[in-house]
Amino acid sequence: MSLVAALNPPQREAAKYLDGPLLVLAGAGSGKTRVITHKIAYLIGECGYRPSSIAAITFTNKAAREMQDRAAKLTQGVNTKGLIVTTFHSMGLRMLREDAKFAELKPAFSILDSADAAGIVSEIIKTTDKQEIRRAVSRISLWKNELKSPAAALATAEDDNARAYAKIYDRYDATLRAYQAVDFDDLIRLPAELLDTHHELREKWQNRLRHVLVDEYQDTNIAQYRLLQKLTGVRAAFTAVGDDDQAIYGWRGASADNLRQLREDYPHLHVVKLEQNYRSTVRILKAANSLIANNPKLFEKRLWSDLGHGDPIQVMPTRDDEHEAESVVMRLLSHKFQHRTEWRDYAILYRGNYQARVFEQALRNEKVPYQLSGGQSFFDKSEIKDVIAYLRLIANGDDDPAFIRAVTTPRRGIGAATLEKLGEVAATLHTSLFDAVFSAAAAAQIGERQLAPLIEFCNFINRFEARAAREPAGEVLNDLLKGIGYENHLFDQDDQRAAQSRWDNVLEFAAWIAKKGEEDEKTLLQLTQTIALITLLEGREEEEAPDRVRLSTLHAAKGLEFGHVFLVGVEENILPHRDAVDEGRLEEERRLMYVGVTRAKKSLTLSYCARRKRARESVACEPSRFIAELGDDVRLPDRPADADSKASGSDRLAALRAMLG
């Protein structure tokens, strides 16, 4: 029996089509991952493609792992060694490592994260203003995603402000080259540029990859589109899977125009539409279709389902933030009691992370287990990354990004100019920044006064390296924190409350290190080597979470599904967001609402407030225009929440608690 026999007709058509470029318009819940994995299995098992000649590219490690696992199950008994299932950034990294010399990089080049990039920009513009740094970093990122060099950015700058950012970009780029480093955007930009300018590289990769599959194609930016073009060449043997109705990342450089561009660049593009939804009831899909019909359409598409009519969509007005949270939790508890569901069947979705706090409190009050998504991981907090940078450098003196972060945090009077000179020395000697500090070349090219704090810092690291290999981990780390004066640094950087919160996080991390050291009988060096793995495991634990209600931003919920969804804060100025409306991005906000609606399988409840706290004020709110756009199959309340609702709500919650035990 054919590997694709189990697919529905459009899915099967998409899996078997090999006559040129293919666009699969996969509506929400229509089985796009199923199509991609079955196509991989079909290419290997029935068409004789070598696994190493196939690349499936997506955006997240989680999606890549899921795709890899499902493809492996479909190809059981077949050797799939060499099959590439990866993210865009990992694919770019693979290419850069293999062809580093073409980018004038050493094979062991460093990859800087967003915090490292912000630190460099901060040094260039001589400011600690986080908003200004964020604006500069964002502008540079957008230029890189558009494949614009610093010179091109300057040449096309529309005003003095843009010209200033272009000059920052130029210095930023020079700094990275001096450090022998790249940032996340470079992992896509540089391979795309190298394939464009080096015929032999282009030929090599096009001969190696015979079919490329791209997931979430609507989220690609210009650089990713060009990379796909160059990888597939004139054969254009690719399958792009996406949904223009779920393009919600325009703010970070994604271009929904890439779908339009496909048709222009590939006149023979074959299009397959997946419109059967396997997730949601008819009513939910009817509302989603009604909503998204208000956006102009590049490709007409209408989702349908045979999962039954389902419950009407509920709209719940509330008085204020706290009343909204209490009402949602009450309704959730009531629904769970009536239907004997599990906590994991429920999700509370919102536009911004700041909305989560009041719902967390309401859930804690009722002892409801919950899981927070779309927020910041503990290991991603800047203060934890600062400390980890020291640990990484103590464990491995060749870790240049860790060196850069540690040597500049706290500040030691070592400026960007000094580090650029050090980077040049390291590049000339083909050594790490750490080793370069002690070289004769550094002594000759960097002034004695500028070099002294670098030598002092490296000697400090060496002393702790010796201790970290033999002394208890917790003791060494606490002495390290005292030695660098990190607590004082935090309180110098932030206001009292923020600094205390960040310092508490550091103390929590230090206590965790001390405990792990004792329990596992490991030194600080040994623990440091496993921190990256622990971070990954933390992510895996989130995916395999026990029975909990999910709290998530709409952006973070994309790709997920839940039996019962509460979409909260559905108000003007929140959803759609005021800034998006002002900037002409209403269509993207509507797509974000659409994503929220289509996360629901069985029931959907929308809530909004009459008044909401903003800073210290209470401001009047209006229900979102999107509620009316959901159509006439939405159940509006008979009357607004009355003055006694809080009391009655509390009584009902108490009764539910008693019933639930």
Choosing from 186, 193, 216, 383, the catalytic residue is 216
Choosing from 12, 16, 32, 421, the catalytic residue is 32
DSSP state of 212: E
Q: List, in order, residues 6 or more apart from 617 with CB less than 8 Å away.
A: none
Beta strands in 448-599 (DSSP E): 549-553, 562-567
**Distances, alpha carbon 399 to alpha carbons 117, 431, 491, in Å:** 16, 11, 28
Choosing from 13, 183, 215, 320, the catalytic residue is 215
Contact by Cβ (8 Å): 66, 33: yes
Q: Does 599 participate in catalysis according to the annotation? A: yes
Choosing from 226, 599, 602, 625, the catalytic residue is 599
Half-sphere exposure of 8 (CA within 13 A, CB side): 13
Q: Does 371 participate in catalysis according to the annotation? A: no
Choosing from 12, 13, 33, 185, the catalytic residue is 33
Q: List, in order, residues 6 or more apart from 461 with CB less than 8 Å away.
A: 390, 393, 394, 397, 406, 434
Q: Which residues partner with 564 through β-bridges?
A: 346, 603
H-run or E-run covering 605: strand 600-609
Choosing from 224, 232, 246, 598, the catalytic residue is 246
Our measurement of the distance from residue 649's CA atom to the centroid of its chain's CA atoms, rounded to an integer in Å, reads 37
**Distances, alpha carbon 452 to alpha carbons 96, 124, 169, 476, in Å:** 35, 22, 29, 25
Half-sphere exposure of 640 (CA within 13 A, CB side): 10
Pairing of strands 617-620, 611-614: antiparallel
Helix (DSSP H) and strand (DSSP E) numbers for the chain: 30, 17
Q: List, in order, residues 6 or more apart from 413 with CB less than 8 Å away.
A: 453
Tokens 């006559």 sit on residue: 19
Q: Does 216 participate in catalysis according to the annotation? A: yes
**Distances, alpha carbon 449 to alpha carbons 178, 188, 414, 418, in Å:** 21, 39, 10, 10
**Distances, alpha carbon 137 to alpha carbons 109, 121, 291, 626, in Å:** 21, 7, 34, 33
Contact by Cβ (8 Å): 425, 200: no
- Cα–Cα distance for residue pair 460/446, rounded to 1 Å: 20
Q: Which residues partner with 272 through β-bridges?
A: 24
Tokens 């490329």 sit on residue: 212
Contact by Cβ (8 Å): 265, 225: no
Half-sphere exposure of 156 (CA within 13 A, CB side): 9
Q: DSSP letter string over 21-88?
A: -EEEEE-TTS-HHHHHHHHHHHHHHTT---GGGEEEEES-HHHHHHHHHHHHHHTTTS--TT-EEEEH
Dihedral in degrees, nearest 10, Cα atoms 490, 495, 497, 501: -30
The secondary structure of the chain in percent helix, strand, coil, rounded to multiples of 5, reads 60, 15, 30
Q: Does 33 participate in catalysis according to the annotation? A: yes
**In this structure, what token pair is assigned to residue 48?**
């004789």
**In this structure, what token pair is assigned to residue 304?**
């349908």
**In this structure, what token pair is assigned to residue 606?**
């929308």
57 φ/ψ angles, rounded to the nearest 5 degrees:
-120, 130
Nearest to 11 by CA among 20, 28, 21, 24: 24
The catalytic residues are 32-33, 215-216, 246, 599
